[in-house]
Amino acid sequence: MPAYAIGVDLGGTNLRIAAVDEHGTLLHKVTLGTEVAKGRDFVVGEMTAAIRQMLDTLKVPGELKGIGIGVPGIIDKATGFMYESPNLPDWANYPVHSDIERRLGTPVVLENDANSAALGEKWLGAGRDVETMVMLTLGTGVGGGIVMDGKIWQGMNGMAGELGHITVDPVGQLCGCGNKGCLEQYASATAITRMANEAIQAGGADSLKNLRDAHPEDFNSKIIYQAAVQGDRAAQEVFNKVGRALGTAIADMVNAFNPHMFVIGGGASNAWDAFSPAIFAEVQKRSFVYRATAPKEGGALANPRKTIITRAQLGGDAGLFGAARLPLQRS
């Protein structure tokens, strides 16, 4: 009988839990709201109660290998402490690993949510046939994960993969981390909305202004993408900026590490067709390593000797599958 694990994707809005067997078969999945405003203890209590209920009712034959949890924040892997989390404000300096493991009485593996998504894509998604893979997740911010030989590259203390804070413009937009010109200031959903508003303020983006005036509460990256698809030049230029920023960061990583694949995921990756041409053009221009192996016209390549730049395949489930993979890898 195949072994299985529980994967948890804990976000600032939703809590998703799934049972997944060692072959990647999804056995059961539930989604709950994350009531962050009620505090850390409430959220952890809700999560552990939902996990126990799933284990009690699922009745899956086979051995439970443990619980894998992907959380949005900076984690010290050695101590199991979460240093900080933008979406879970009262989780700073919290011994999250030991607390959850004590409550469940089951082995727990903790991981950053973007790393979990990268592992999921490596296991069952776009990266399943390559050895080394870098994933960029485009959401409210930009997350990242690096997978080498099928495992997450942790770095010295578990904090590797903060790709959203690669500098793509040294004198650019101020980032919440204190740096200027971070990738997430140009390639996140939040950045897309900001850049559209900047274009409106600068003048010459009348159609975007009309769109914002008509939908002030819904003026976001999705509606800006729709305008770009319909031919709005100002909206298209916003996504060209997204692609150029991503291409600049990817080109540097190609030159430095020459991985097999880059995978672009997250909610904002739905605008792939609007920003991906600029990615390929920028990487072609900036990376001599890429130029040495890739054709002039970019695209996902079948030859694994060439760097592949492509979309994620698992959508919102990448983090769930990756979280479940964590304890299965340890067995």
pLDDT digits (tens, 9 = 90+) for 236-271: 999 999 999 999 999 999 999 999 999 999 999 999
Question: Which residue blocks in 78-232 are alpha helix, DSSP H?
Answer: 96-104, 113-124, 184-187, 189-202, 206-214, 221-229
What's the pTM?
A: 0.89
- The pLDDT of 89-114, averaged and rounded, is 89
Residues 119 and 145 in one domain: no
In the chain, pLDDT over 90 holds for what percent of residues?
68
- 245 close to 186: Cβ distance less than 8 angstroms: yes
Range of the domain at 119: 4-123+317-330
In the chain, pLDDT over 70 holds for what percent of residues?
96
As a whole number of angstroms, the distance between CA 72 and CA 156 comes to 19
Confidence label for 68 from pLDDT (cuts 50, 70 and 90): very high
Encode pLDDT of 159-200 as tens digits: 889 999 999 999 999 998 899 999 999 999 999 999 999 999
Residues 98 and 160 in one domain: no
The overall average pLDDT reported for the chain is: 90
What is the pLDDT, as a whole number, of residue 331? 60
Non-local (6+) Cβ contacts of 231 within 8 A are: none
What is the pLDDT, as a whole number, of residue 302? 44
For 101, the token pair is 């493991």
- pLDDT at 295 exceeding the cut of 70: no
- Residue 182, CA distances (Å) to 68, 139, 157 in order: 30, 14, 22
Angle at 215 between CA 210 and CA 219, to 5 degrees: 95
Residues 322 and 238 in one domain: no
What is the pLDDT, as a whole number, of residue 303? 45
Q: What domain count does the chain have?
A: 2
Residues 308 and 321 in one domain: no
- pLDDT at 83 exceeding the cut of 80: yes
Residues 141 and 239 in one domain: yes
- The pLDDT of 203-211, averaged and rounded, is 93
Residues 161 and 293 in one domain: yes
Residues 286 and 324 in one domain: no
The DSSP secondary structure of 62-78, one letter per residue, reads S-EEEEEEEESSEEETT
Residues 22 and 41 in one domain: yes
Residues 87 and 192 in one domain: no
Confidence label for 294 from pLDDT (cuts 50, 70 and 90): low
Residues 260 and 283 in one domain: yes
Whether the CA torsion 295, 301, 307, 312 is positive or negative: it is: positive
Range in 130-139, 150-159, 183-192 the model is least confident about: 150-159
Q: For position 73, which CATH number holds?
A: 3.30.420.40
Strands 14-21 and 26-33, by their bridges, are: antiparallel
Residues 56 and 119 in one domain: yes
Residues 214 and 103 in one domain: no
